Amino acid sequence: MDGSLGEVSTPGRVADDGEGISAQELALAARNHGLPLEALRYEVTPAGLHYVLVHYDIPAAEAGTWRLSVGGRVRTPLDLDVAALRALPAVTHRVTMECAGNGRARLLPRPVSQPWLVEAVGTAEWTGVPLRTVLAEAGVLPDAVEAVFTGADHGVERGVEQDYRRSLPVRVATGEDPPVLIAYAMNGGPLPPQHGHPLRLVVPGWYGMAHVKWLRDITLADAPFTGFQQSVAYRYRQAPDDPGVAVTRMLPRALLVPPGFPDFMSRVRVVRPGPVRLAGRAWSGGGPVVRVEVSADGGAGWARARLAPREPGGWAWQAWRYDWTATPGRHTLSARATDAEGRTQPLEQPWNRGGFGNNLVQRVPVLCCR
Amino acid sequence: MDGSLGEVSTPGRVADDGEGISAQELALAARNHGLPLEALRYEVTPAGLHYVLVHYDIPAAEAGTWRLSVGGRVRTPLDLDVAALRALPAVTHRVTMECAGNGRARLLPRPVSQPWLVEAVGTAEWTGVPLRTVLAEAGVLPDAVEAVFTGADHGVERGVEQDYRRSLPVRVATGEDPPVLIAYAMNGGPLPPQHGHPLRLVVPGWYGMAHVKWLRDITLADAPFTGFQQSVAYRYRQAPDDPGVAVTRMLPRALLVPPGFPDFMSRVRVVRPGPVRLAGRAWSGGGPVVRVEVSADGGAGWARARLAPREPGGWAWQAWRYDWTATPGRHTLSARATDAEGRTQPLEQPWNRGGFGNNLVQRVPVLCCR
């Protein structure tokens, strides 16, 4: 009780064997939310159904007075308002975004953090200015190696008081693949407060932690950024003292629109015997998904689904479908995506201490009855 | 494994002593979401931040083909499309809505269902047609005692396959206090899918279960409705065989906008020493809130907050504020509302088996440090 931050902000931990979801994890689950899986039916996710993860508080941000500064290793520091960004040529990209911690709550042992099951995903049409346009205006100096992005959300995490801050290598920030955006619109409307109003970064193909919300500063730096969200959080590591590997692009994943109708509490699906059209979406940050397979027996046998191609230059999920014949009894439905780089989803989940990149195949329990 | 619904849909239960939040409760928490408490700053809640509870799936509903039927004990059965409703004189009401199960996850023992903490609330501007206008057009027959409202969401709950369905007494359905609406717009836009697109009922002052979403049928009945959501769920009862008392209007409650900034995991708030403006909202379904008191010592001492009056005829929460001086150390902030009928929030939570109407005063842990 000495009034230090360490009292209220403790180190990361994994849950004890058999430890249920804690009150702290539940408080995060009640604030942040996933995509209700039936909303996979929408090619573009309505804004209020897109997953959202806010580390601290949603800032009280006003578009009219918002400023974005661009500085550090640039020829001409900039101080832009939203109107100045809106005056630049705009682009729109349809982008699937997934939280790096999706699936964390199913890991054993369970890293204690935002307890996602499988639903931390969404696809939106983001409109804004290419980041490279703004960086070209500022003039990135040759010794710059990273662009550091600062959001307005402020808090404490694992004992470290901070603004949310992440970096990208200059070659990614100034590149066209992926086309990094400073976005001011989502699905044709202003960004909602929880999605970064009035400005956010969008980094197609990368997990959500890279898409810095409430973006207020970009600083070009001549050394790699070593802040909390880059060097402590969002690394694949096996032990606390393992330096780990940076979390970057999304691993391949397919999800099913759960068929039939649910039980309120168990969420088990009920279908009638006979033909059932299964459908879903599949995506990868490593390129197009080239194959989706479906299993109706918990992963013993797999059959190929019909998969829509990815739009050329696109960054959104691809629709797939499969015609299944339901027979009375219990079934477990799964779908498995493989991307153009040959990566596929595991049937047994690898483990890492932060609970990142968990693309274990989904299992949808179904009861078929008359 | 006989393929019956009872396999996947079990009776309601309360958690065992010390039982953590279960995977099933977590799955509900990941789908449904509360109001992030900092969003109490908005007088009208942006649509994606308003709490949402969906019993089954969000239906795939299209405004263009939607029909609302009105039948049963009426002179002239109606079959209306959305355009026909939009052609009638519209009204807009600002309404605070709270889930009847708000606070359930803090009960001991804990009823196992949607595990809300304190955040299942929101305020929106609902636009639509007064229900009494539509019922007058249909002509309610003198022997009708209740109007039964059916939504398009279909599922199983505690072994009972059902469309979501609730009733109101005819005197409430045809009355002006509260002004019951068939709403087609929220905050000036079409209803979002998760809030009942394209039509929902809004029953100002009542807990959320009465505001039937995806409204597709209204049937006037000459006997009280005894369906699942009326006679089994949403009753204050102490034991499974207790007939219980119907859940209707919201009990008084005040919530604080959490001051300062949070720790990511514990959500404990950090403030600096000195003056801190505390602010929040308070509401009751039983009339205006007439007093809000604030405690900075966990409920030992209370001081009166400045409270904005309720709009005449209004159904929305009222803003309140209180100037607190923070001193170094740990504090617990609380606010307590009292309504015009003299009801106030308890400091020790009464218990009921469904976990309804839990308006225990909020406790916000704060660390004040330099």
Q: Which of B49, B52, B105 sits opposite A26 (nearest CB)?
A: B105
| Cβ <8 Å between B21 and A24 | no
Question: Where would I find the H helices in chain A?
Answer: 23-31, 82-86, 131-138, 170-173
Query: Distance, in angstroms, between B273 CA and closest chain A CA?
Result: 11
Q: Which residues pair with A267 in a beta bridge?
A: none
Calpha distance A86→A185 (Å, rounded): 10
| Cβ <8 Å between B194 and A48 | yes
Half-sphere exposure in the Cβ direction for B322 (13 Å, CA): 27
Please say whether the beta carbons of A361 and A335 come within 8 A.
Answer: yes
- Nearest-Cα residue of chain B relative to residue A367: B3
Query: Distance, in angstroms, between A176 CA and closest chain B CA?
Result: 31
| Cβ <8 Å between A54 and B36 | yes
| Cβ <8 Å between A27 and B1 | no
Chain B residue numbers with beta carbons less than 8 Å from the beta carbon of A8 are 263, 266, 268, 270, 365, 367
Interior/surface letters A339-352, b for 16+ CB within 10 angstroms, e for the rest: beeebbbeeebeeb
DSSP B271: E
Question: Which residues lie closer than 8 Å to B228 by C-beta, 6 or more apart?
Answer: B157, B158, B160, B162, B165
| Residue B170, phi-psi category: left (phi > 0), alpha (psi -120 to 50), beta (remainder) | alpha
| No. of helices (H) and no. of strands (E), chain A | 4, 22
Amino acid at the residue A175: G
What is the per-residue pLDDT for B2?
55
Q: What are the two backbone dihedrals, phi and then psi, of residue A259, each rounded to the nearest 5 degrees?
A: -80, 165
* Residue (of A122, A332, A367) closest to A262 by Cα position: A367
DSSP B21: B
CB contacts < 8 A, A to B, total 229
| Cβ <8 Å between A21 and B22 | yes
Q: What are the two backbone dihedrals, phi and then psi, of residue B167, each rounded to the nearest 5 degrees?
A: -125, 165
| Cβ <8 Å between B46 and A22 | no
What is the per-residue pLDDT for A177?
93
| Cβ <8 Å between B36 and A57 | yes
Question: Where would I find the H helices in chain B?
Answer: 23-31, 82-86, 131-138, 170-173, 228-231
* Residue (of B56, B65, B197, B60) closest to B126 by Cα position: B197
Calpha distance A14→B343 (Å, rounded): 44
The pair of structure tokens assigned to A208 is 């959500």
Query: ipTM of the assembly?
Result: 0.96
Cβ atoms within 10 Å, residue A77: 13
Question: Which residues lie closer than 8 Å to B18 by C-beta, 6 or more apart?
Answer: none
| Cβ <8 Å between A1 and B116 | no
Distances in Å between the Cα of A216 and the Cα atoms of A83, A165, B326 are 14, 10, 29
Calpha distance B251→B337 (Å, rounded): 10
Q: Omega into A109 within 30° of 0, i.e. cis?
A: yes
Chain A residue numbers with beta carbons less than 8 Å from the beta carbon of B155 are 261-264
Give yes or no for residue A303 having a pLDDT over 60: yes
Chain A residue numbers with beta carbons less than 8 Å from the beta carbon of B154 are 261
Q: State pLDDT tens for residues A94-113.
A: 999 999 999 999 999 999 99
* Residue (of B26, B53, B34) closest to B362 by Cα position: B34
Q: Which residues pair with A253 in a beta bridge?
A: A283
Chain A residue numbers with beta carbons less than 8 Å from the beta carbon of B262 are 56-57, 155-156
DSSP A301: S
| Cβ <8 Å between B193 and A264 | no
Give yes or no for residue A33 having a pLDDT over 60: yes
| Cβ <8 Å between B157 and A263 | yes
What is the per-residue pLDDT for B88?
97
E strand or H helix at B236: strand B235-236
Chain centroid offset of residue A277 CA: 28
Query: Distance, in angstroms, between B239 CA and closest chain A CA?
Result: 20
Please say whether the beta carbons of A58 and B36 come within 8 A.
Answer: yes
Q: What is the pLDDT along chain B (370 residues), one digit of tens a residue?
A: 456 888 899 999 999 998 999 999 999 999 999 999 999 999 999 989 999 999 999 999 999 999 999 999 999 999 999 999 999 999 999 999 999 999 999 999 999 999 999 999 999 999 999 999 999 999 999 999 999 999 999 999 999 999 999 999 999 999 999 999 999 999 999 999 999 999 999 999 999 999 999 999 999 999 999 999 999 999 999 998 999 999 999 999 999 999 999 999 999 999 999 999 999 999 999 999 999 999 999 899 999 999 999 988 889 999 999 999 999 999 999 999 999 999 999 999 899 999 999 999 999 999 999 8
Please say whether the beta carbons of A230 and A160 come within 8 A.
Answer: no
Q: State pLDDT tens for residues A239-270.
A: 989 999 999 999 999 999 999 999 999 999 99
Chain A residue numbers with beta carbons less than 8 Å from the beta carbon of B54 are 36
Chain B residue numbers with beta carbons less than 8 Å from the beta carbon of A160 are none
**Helix %, strand %, coil % for chain A, to 5?**
15, 40, 50
Chain A residue numbers with beta carbons less than 8 Å from the beta carbon of B17 are none
| Cβ <8 Å between A263 and B5 | yes
Among B7, B31, B118, the residue to mutate for chain A (most A Cβ within 10 A): B31
Average pLDDT for chain A = 96
Query: Distance, in angstroms, between B146 CA and closest chain A CA?
Result: 26
Chain B residue numbers with beta carbons less than 8 Å from the beta carbon of A112 are 265
Query: Distance, in angstroms, between B300 CA and closest chain A CA?
Result: 20
Among A33, A106, A160, A264, the residue to mutate for chain B (most B Cβ within 10 A): A264
E strand or H helix at B253: strand B253-256
Q: State pLDDT tens for residues B109-123.
A: 999 999 999 999 999
Chain B residue numbers with beta carbons less than 8 Å from the beta carbon of A21 are 20-23, 25-26
Chain A residue numbers with beta carbons less than 8 Å from the beta carbon of B56 are 261-262, 264
What is the per-residue pLDDT for B1?
46
Chain B residue numbers with beta carbons less than 8 Å from the beta carbon of A22 are 20-21
What is the per-residue pLDDT for A2?
55
Among B17, B52, B57, B191, the residue to mutate for chain A (most A Cβ within 10 A): B57
Calpha distance A36→A257 (Å, rounded): 9
Distances in Å between the Cα of B195 and the Cα atoms of A295, B31, B166 are 33, 13, 16
Give yes or no for residue A34 having a pLDDT over 90: yes
DSSP labels, B104-134: GGGSSSPBSSS---S--EEEEEEEEEEHHHH
Q: Which of B21, B261, B330 sits opposite A57 (nearest CB)?
A: B261
DSSP A74: B
What is the per-residue pLDDT for B47?
85
| Cβ <8 Å between B26 and A105 | yes
**CB-based burial label for B133 (10 Å; 0-12, 13-18, 19+):** middle
Cβ atoms within 10 Å, residue B91: 14
pTM exceeds cut of 0.90: yes
Amino acid at the residue B64: G
What is the per-residue pLDDT for A1?
46
- Nearest-Cα residue of chain B relative to residue A41: B60
The pair of structure tokens assigned to A326 is 């339901």
Calpha distance A336→A327 (Å, rounded): 22
- Nearest-Cα residue of chain A relative to residue B120: A30
What is the per-residue pLDDT for B18?
87
A237-240 — which CB contacts under 8 Å span 24+ positions?
Answer: A237/A352, A237/A353, A237/A354, A238/A351, A238/A352, A238/A353, A239/A353, A240/A11, A240/A12, A240/A353
